Amino acid sequence: MLVVAGVVVGLAPTVGLTTAGADRGVSVGTAPDGSALLALEPAGTTVTNPSETTVATLRNNAGEALNTAYSVSVDGDGGALTAVTAETPTNLDPNGGTDIAVKCKPNGQRGTAQLQVHVAEAAGDGVTIQNALLTVDVAYDCPGGGGRPSDRPAFDDADGDGEYDEGEETYSVEELENFENRSVRLAIKDAGTLDARGQRVSIEAREILIQNATLRSNKRVSLDATGAVTIDGEIESNKGIQIDAGGQMAADYAQLRSKRDVSLSASGSLLLRFATIDAKGAATATLQTQNGNLLVQGLSVRDDDDTLVYTPADASVSGTPSRGSVEAG
């Protein structure tokens, strides 16, 4: 078995790890062609937009399958680039490869950065490569920052980074009143107060994020996500609040105020640490999975009996409320 440890590989048209053969020991260096056991091949593209762009391919030239664990980072870009390639173990077939992608932030920067692929281990039947760093240069020319229109406070966070990127779809308050698109990661962030002016708010989306914003309606507010719901803002309703998450619901520090009921449901954990629930009716929480946890440290509950009632009764509950109580239903 060949082991290459503590390798730092410099720049070349194609860079990677080479060996002179097991009978002569192990030799490591850069390779300008396909002779590298594990190579990082630059795509030669310039990154110019917020959508992901393939800039290199991690190539297996070892002649056998390699189970490869790696991570990706960018250096010298001044914060202009973000690596978007998943950092998970990948099985690379002989002569096979996996693409490495990055994206621009809309900050108007341009230049050349260094893409770094850190290979923790690439292991096969006859060769193992460990603790290797492969690098190539990446040119970028990012567009200038373009904020979303002031009259369209919500957006489709297509890349899931929690930030508005130029080109992502935006939505008006009126569109949020009856929003139904299960492919959208809907984000309402840094938007001030959104007043539906007496209209019912019903939002169905893939994921929902409300951060540093207040969603207000004189009628019922209903949020329903296939995946996660994240609330770090305020929701106000005169007719009740219902929030359903197909994944985790993270509502730490959220403020939920209703003149009727507040109903929360999650298929993952339900996080209510230091949140406020203020309701004239009942406050309830339902965990739809046995693996979910209800976290209530610092929670303030003020409803018809100052009690958050949760189901099922055997759900895992952690923390102590600062006001009111939490009891099984």
Which parts of the chain fold into alpha helices (H)? 173-176
- 193-213 average pLDDT score: 92
**Tens digit of each residue's pLDDT (9 = 90 or more) over 214-241:** 999 999 999 999 999 999 999 999 999 9
pLDDT surpasses 60 at 189: yes
Residue 160 DSSP code: S
Kindly state whether residues 158 and 118 are assigned to the same domain.
no
Residues 187 and 270 in one domain: yes
Domain's final residue, options 99, 117, 141: 141
User: What is the mean predicted confidence (pLDDT) over 157-182?
Assistant: 90
Write b or e for each residue in 78-90: b if 16 or more Cβ atoms lie within 10 A of its Cβ, otherwise e. eebbbbbbeeeeb
Domain count for the chain, please give it. 2
Residue 94 lies in a domain: yes
Cβ contacts of 280-284, under 8 Å, gap ≥ 24: 280/304, 281/240, 282/309, 283/307, 283/308, 283/309, 284/308, 284/309, 284/310, 284/311, 284/329
3-class state of residue 143 by DSSP: coil
DSSP class of residue 243? E
The values of phi and psi at residue 24, to 5°, are: -115, 10
Q: Which residues pair with 177 in a beta bridge?
A: none
Residue 147 lies in a domain: no
Statement to judge: residues 204 and 319 lie in one domain: yes
- Per residue in 17-35, pLDDT (tens digit) is 444 333 322 333 333 344 5
pLDDT above 90 covers a percentage of the chain that reads: 61
Q: Are 134 and 168 part of one and the same domain?
A: no
Neighbouring residues of 245: CB distance < 8 A, sequence distance ≥ 6: 208, 225, 227, 228, 229, 265, 266, 267, 268, 270
Verify that 198 and 307 share a domain, yes or no. yes
Burial of 121 per CB tally in 10 Å (0-12, 13-18, 19+) = middle
- Same-domain check for residues 161 and 271: yes
Say if residue 192 is in the same domain as residue 289: yes
Q: Which helix (H) or strand (E) holds 50?
A: none
- What the block records as the tokens of 44 is 């030669």
**Can you give the pLDDT at residue 51?**
76
pLDDT at 21: 34
Burial class (CB within 10 angstroms; exposed 0-12, middle 13-18, buried 19+) of 93: exposed
Residue 148, in any domain of the structure:
no
Shared domain for 77 and 111, answered yes or no, is yes
pTM exceeds 0.85, yes or no? no
Of the candidates 74, 47, 42, the one whose C-alpha atom is nearest the C-alpha of residue 57 is: 42
Give the CATH number, domain containing residue 30.
2.60.40.10
Residues 164, 303, single domain; the answer is: yes
Q: Which residue has the tokens 């006859």?
A: 126
Both tokens of residue 197? 């002016």
Q: Does residue 295 sit within a domain?
A: yes
* pLDDT tier for residue 146 given thresholds of 50, 70 and 90: low
Segment 63-112, tens digit of pLDDT: 999 999 999 999 887 778 888 876 677 899 999 999 999 988 766 788 99
Q: Is residue 41 part of a domain?
A: yes
**Residue after which a domain boundary falls, among 118, 141, 164:** 141
Of the residues 97, 117, 141, the one at which a domain ends: 141
Supply the range of the domain harboring residue 31: 2-141
**126 lies in the same domain as 167:** no
